Amino acid sequence: MIQVLLWLPVAVGLACFFAPRRSVPGLASLGTLGALGLAIALVASFHVGEAGLQHRVDESWIPSLGVRY
C-alpha cells in the first residue's frame, strides 16, 4: 500500500497532463483525496508497540546495477 501512496500522485499528475483542461481540477482533487485516504489507512494500521519499520518495501528495481527500491 505504501507503493500506491508514492506512485498515485505521479499517475494522477500524468493523467492531468493528458486530460482536457476542464477536467484537471476534479481529477487532481480525486487524486489528492485518494492519497489522503491511503495515508489515513496506513496510519490507522500502524501498531505502536512493534519495533522497526512496519510498512516496508524492498524490491529489486535494476538488478544488473544493484539498484533497489
Q: What is the pLDDT of residues 8-50, one digit of tens each?
A: 999 999 999 999 999 999 999 999 999 999 999 988 888 777 7
**pLDDT at residue 39 in the model:** 92
Classify residue 59: in a domain, yes or no.
no
Classify residue 57: in a domain, yes or no.
no
| Total structural domains within the chain | 1
Q: Residue 59 in contact with residue 68, Cβ under 8 Å?
A: yes
Classify residue 65: in a domain, yes or no.
no
Classify residue 36: in a domain, yes or no.
yes
* Residue 53 reports pLDDT greater than 80: no
The Cα-based distances of 29 to 1, 14, 58 in angstroms read 20, 14, 30
**pLDDT at residue 12 in the model:** 95
Name the residue range of residue 17's domain. 1-47
